[in-house]
Amino acid sequence: MRVLITGATGLIGSRLVRSLLARGDTVLPLSRKLHSSSKWGAEFASQCEPLQGDPQQSGDWLQAVGRVDAVVHLAGEPIMAQRWSDAFLQKVRDSRVQSTRLISEALAQSPRKEDGTPRSYICGSAVGYYGANSGDAPLDESAQPGTDSMADISREWEAAAQPASDAGVRVCNVRTGIVLDPNEGALPRMLFPFKMFVGGRIGSGKQYMSWIHRDDMNTALLYVLDHTNIRGPFNATAPHPVRNSEFSQIIAKVLRRPNWLPVPRFALRIALGKVVQVVAGGQNAVPKKLLNDGFAFRFPELEPALRDLLNAPAEQSS
């Protein structure tokens, strides 16, 4: 398989690139800075064809869309990069919507491979689609979108892939939860206060957190690439979301630290501004589509996932 990947140097993309190369696929990783193919391992140099380009801007790199079996589009401005302002939210939106539409329109010009089967377009999205205060009910892929800023962005993000879908491309929208990685993303920020002995729940602690272990995230993307029967949105989340209070309890247990200092929502609003809706909100998103198709999660429960990531041995039963 030949796969073009945007966001190839990010938390999710870099692992996906190496996994595809390791199993013998050819990968075309796109980034604004041209990297040597050895970045993903010298042993895979012959299988790696790096591309330079901005996914929001037309360029020669778009010609590669007609030479691949699939495009995995993971690029986008990190939503926690700074305090939210109208200008920053517009930047977040544009980085997702414009790039998704640009690739979608390129795929629409060449929707089928040489053998006549559809190309695949695996597009990033987020469980923020359902809204930051979506209640306690489990949310599968049929749930309606929310009405806050991130829900609006996610809805436009997914809609931007419509030209490719209309042309016959197999489009999948990856509604990703919190990807747990000990070195990148949200988890190091969550761990820090506990390591400093001041950890605790956020706000009421009743909000759900939809999470996924980095290995299951990677395996889910590979699964969707290979299983061409899967189309449309799917939740890339572990089967068992937890409330923030339980998440905090489990972190404290795994790290052997206290869990005693809750962070009031009003304090978060003062410190973070509008981004508080992401930090203090949540979704009870469940991966119904993946489970129904037979995908097996290696880490369906949070405590074993955290123990694996943090190299923390399981507690001995007495």
Tens digits of residue pLDDT in 110-149 = 999 999 999 999 999 999 999 987 789 999 999 999 998 8
SS (H, E, C) the chain: CEEEEECCCCHHHHHHHHHHHHCCCEEEEEECCCCCHHHHCHHHHHHECCEECCCCCCCHHHHHHHHCCEEEECCCCCCCCCCCCHHHHHHHHHHHHHHHHHHHHHHHHCCECCCCCECEEEEEEEHHHHCCECCCCCECCCCCCCCCHHHHHHHHHHHCCHHHHHCCCEEEEEEECEEECCCCCCHHHHHHHHHCCCCCCECCCCCEECEEEHHHHHHHHHHHHHCCCCCEEEEECCCCCEEHHHHHHHHHHHHCCCCCCCECHHHHHHHHHHHHHHHCCECCECCHHHHHCCCCCCCCCHHHHHHHHCCCCCCCCC
For residue 266, the model assigns a pLDDT of 62
Q: What is the band of 274 on the pLDDT scale with cuts at 50, 70, 90?
A: low
Tens digits of residue pLDDT in 60-94 = 999 999 999 999 999 998 887 777 788 888 999 99
For residue 188, the model assigns a pLDDT of 87
Which is higher by pLDDT, 192 or 272? Answer: 192
Tens digits of residue pLDDT in 153-200 = 999 999 999 999 999 999 999 999 999 999 988 888 888 889 999 899
Q: What is the band of 277 on the pLDDT scale with cuts at 50, 70, 90?
A: low
Gap between the Cα atoms of 250 and 257, Å rounded: 10
What is the pTM (predicted TM-score) of this model?
0.94
% the chain with pLDDT above 70? 94
Domains of the chain are 76-247+249-309 (3.40.50.720)
Q: Which amino acid is at 9?
A: T
